[in-house]
A and B are shown apart, each in its own frame.
Chain A
Amino acid sequence: MKIAAEPITELKLAGITKRFPGILACNNVSLQVARGEVLALVGENGAGKSTLMNILAGLYQPDAGTITVNGQEVRFHTPNDAYDRGIGMVHQNFMLVPNMTVTENVALGLKKLHKFMNLDLKEARRRIIEVSEHHELPVNPDAYIWQLSVGEQQRVELVKTLCFGAQLLILDEPTSALTPQETDDLIDRLKRMTAELSIIFISHKLNEVKALSDRVAILRHGAVVFNGQTADHSPADLAALMTGREIHLPRNEGMELGREVILKAEGLKVRGDRGHLALDGLDLELHAGEILGLAGVSGNGQRELAEAFTGLRPVEGGTVTFLGQDMTRRNPAAMIAAGLGYIPEDRHHEGIVPRFSVKENLILKDFHTAKFSWSVVLRQGGIRRNGDELKTAYDIRCASTAAAGGSLSGGNIQKVILARELAREPKALIAVYPTRGVDMGAQEFIHAQLLTRRREGGGILLISEELEEIMNLSDRIAVIYKGRILKVLSSLEATRERLGLLMAGVADE
């Protein structure tokens, strides 16, 4: 039953080139991976990492260049060809059918189990248990995908790929949707797996690169600009190589500004999607001119808090006060009009309308104001000018502001949202995971913009899982746990250890 591919002792990519209209996605890329080795592939958004890996996994065809496995040249026309040679990829967005069980999802891709009018689910189940025990990746073969957390789904993806016979795993940003705990857990498991497997993994997070990889290759504009031992270089070196310049993540210099409370939650009670009380009597105060970091493991009520403030989620009990006015149960339009900005977690579907052009997305909240419409007629000229101005000011990289918002890379979509929200000069801004999955350069830019808004007197509620981000930017840090604020610390009191304990629900006195 094993797919009989001989072990991969050496994989070589030589001179891989791939063009898309107007873009050279991969430019003469050469890489190699030996057995048991972990190669980290890093680079900014749009540097060509995913394209390169899609070529290796058989999804794309290279325009030029060769792939050799154990010294033998191979050509992959489909992902199945790649699997037959032992190469499997786990994509950034999981490829699982939510309303099927783990076993059924794996069986979908195991063509050998598909016999006439019969699908051998028992064999699939047996394989899953075998693989998950062997690699210490616990999964329940009978669970439905929709019941599983993101971390568990990640493990299912790994097991699935291994069941297909992969000996070289390609992982495209495997940690981008995981909590810090899940990330550490995954890295541990992956490390153990390298006894038998080779891994290529794509990541923006240089500390993970340091923790897991033996060698690191950096791509910039489709070309390899660096290829060397991970141990010889600090994260700062790698960051500089990645962007071609020094990266300085800006810090909050911490001068005291206004003490006026602008946004306040008192005894807030809000239900989550599954009907439980996601916020259970939460109290929080945001001052003008401060960045208040909200630390916490995701799923402790962060999303519900942001949505209750912005009027998107019904409030069951308690009050929301904004600029001295009771704004409990006001609709989103009222909150927007009052001057509340919001950078949502789901940037692809909530932050922008993907099919709308960039310039239309930039006026999503203001299309009805006098600046962009005359009575009910849209001012096309004003909309275009606004788009061009913000494109320049926020360094949004797109061919033109008439391009569809959904066609931009994640980092650039985030800049579109940031530009729209900050251009409105919000009195208070709620920023949820503002730099998740964006590259170092964009992260630096977004941080600088948030700090600028703070200096101008805006209050910012920064919801993030990255402790470093929170500690760099915040004046005060609140820790949320099970729908309540466990403690509020000043940035001077906060240490990684203390926050870590609080995030785990251990209140110190």
Chain B
Amino acid sequence: MNKFKLAYGFTIILIATLAAAGAAALVLKAIGADPWATFVTIFTGPFQDVFGITEILVRAVPLTLVALGIAIAFRSGIINIGAEGQMLMGILAATGMAISFPLWPKAVLLPMVILAGAVGGGLWASIAGSLRAYLGVNEILSTVMLNYIAVQFYTFFLRGPMIDPAELETGSGTPQSVRLPESAILSKLVPGTRLHTGLILALVLAVVVYFFLWHTTWGFRLRAAGAEPKAARYAGIHVERSLVTAMVLSGVFAGIAGAVEVSGVHHRAIEAISSGYGFAGIVVALFGALHPAGIIPAAVFFGLLLVGADMTQRSAGVPANMILVLQGVLILAIVSAKMYLNNAYAQERAYRLFTRLTGKSDATVKTGGQS
């Protein structure tokens, strides 16, 4: 039976992969691209040199940070779709801190910049958290709406109060801030690439999140409130407070992701800086089973997809938007495959079909439960 289970899991993953590849190939064919060449580029292209590999990690850093926050929220029974907006608010706060105190030494300014990002994201998230906990406003709605507001807010600051004075002088008016002072920039991890020390921060925070959720009383409270609010209230836990805490922490992580992105990669606040990480981070978190140990590999995998996508645009002539289609197909395949992998009933049916086809019988069939 265990052999069967293994074979079942393997088959499902194989079918899902083939289905995703098939659907993607159809779409690629339809726009006149060569599917095989595109796939080869996506999955092998980034590994051809050190730069490609570091680029995967550059994208994995914000994805990991956002996903860690999402995992805290989801585990605590509150859904956060607002990481995108929280990230932007984090970037604004971090940039503001960096350009306001350019003369502070790096040892002081850099931590303050990251902290500012955390506070910015956390405050923004606290709006949705409090609305949910104390007024019963659905947090999916409020976080999505707050994303729109955050984008406008961000654009307003980049075009107005925070715009680089040089842009006004030259008259080009590109909405971006001045370059951050050197002392507010994360050091390079590999010279000649964009990979920065934010990677180490992300890995450390992953461990911290694991420890927080499963080894502290704070985490115990949040998880209990998330898993069964009725029982948590019964046990004397303040469920409302725990919901707000979880949402704020989730925003803190999105804010840190933003601060790290601006201080490690772009070195100034620009438009479209979040690159959709706030949304992709949700998928990474779910794909990583809402556990830090799953989130890190999931973030690297999605990093690979993003970098591979950029490469296909250049080498295989596939438009970049096409990549969004491919990602969507892949996400659908992953989610469906997970449904089948966890569904004991489907597994038993498959097993019955298998025994009928082969005429073999094995008595220990795994099913969901018993009387």
Contacts and interface: CB of A to CB of B under 8 A. Distances in A.
Most buried by B among A19, A23, A64, A342: A19
A401 to B, nearest CB: 16
B224 interface: yes
Contacts of B348: 61
A364 B224 contact: yes
A225 B218 CA distance: 50
A44 to B, nearest CB: 11
Nearest to B345: A59
A507 B363 CA distance: 61
B230 A378 contact: no
B234 A50 contact: no
B371 A51 contact: yes
B216 A23 contact: no
B365 interface: yes
B231 A333 contact: no
A51 B370 contact: yes
- Which label, helix, strand, loop or mixed, suits the secondary structure of the A interface? mixed
B231 A378 contact: no
Interface string A39-54: 0000000111111101
Contacts of B230: 346, 349-350
Contacts of B235: 332, 336, 364-365
Interface stretch (A2-10, A174-182, A227-235, A353-361): A353-361
B218 A344 contact: no
A349 B364 contact: no
Contacts of B216: 373, 376-378
Nearest to A352: B231
Interface size class of B (residues with CB under 8 A): 20 to 34
Contacts, number: 100
Contacts of B365: 19, 61, 63
B208 to A, nearest CB: 13
A355 B231 contact: no
B238 to A, nearest CB: 8
Given A49-B371, A407-B369, A332 B234 contact: yes
B234 A368 contact: no
B236 A50 contact: no
A433 interface: no
A141 interface: no
A63 B236 contact: no
B228 interface: yes
Given A20-B370, A344-B234, A373 B217 contact: yes
A445 interface: no
Contact of A25 (B217, B227, B237, B371): B371
Nearest to B366: A21
B231 A349 contact: yes
A394 interface: no
Most buried by A among B215, B228, B352, B370: B370
B231 A350 contact: yes
A470 B371 CA distance: 29
Contacts of B227: 353-356
Interface in B310-369: 348, 352, 363-367, 369
Closest 10 CB pairs of A and B: A50-B371, A333-B236, A51-B371, A353-B228, A364-B235, A332-B236, A63-B363, A355-B227, A336-B236, A20-B370
Given A353-B224, A378-B220, 16 more contacts: A21-B364, A48-B371, A51-B370, A51-B371, A52-B371, A61-B365, A63-B365, A333-B236, A333-B237, A337-B236, A346-B230, A354-B227, A368-B217, A377-B215, A377-B217, A380-B215
5 contacts: A50-B370, A353-B232, A354-B227, A367-B221, A380-B215
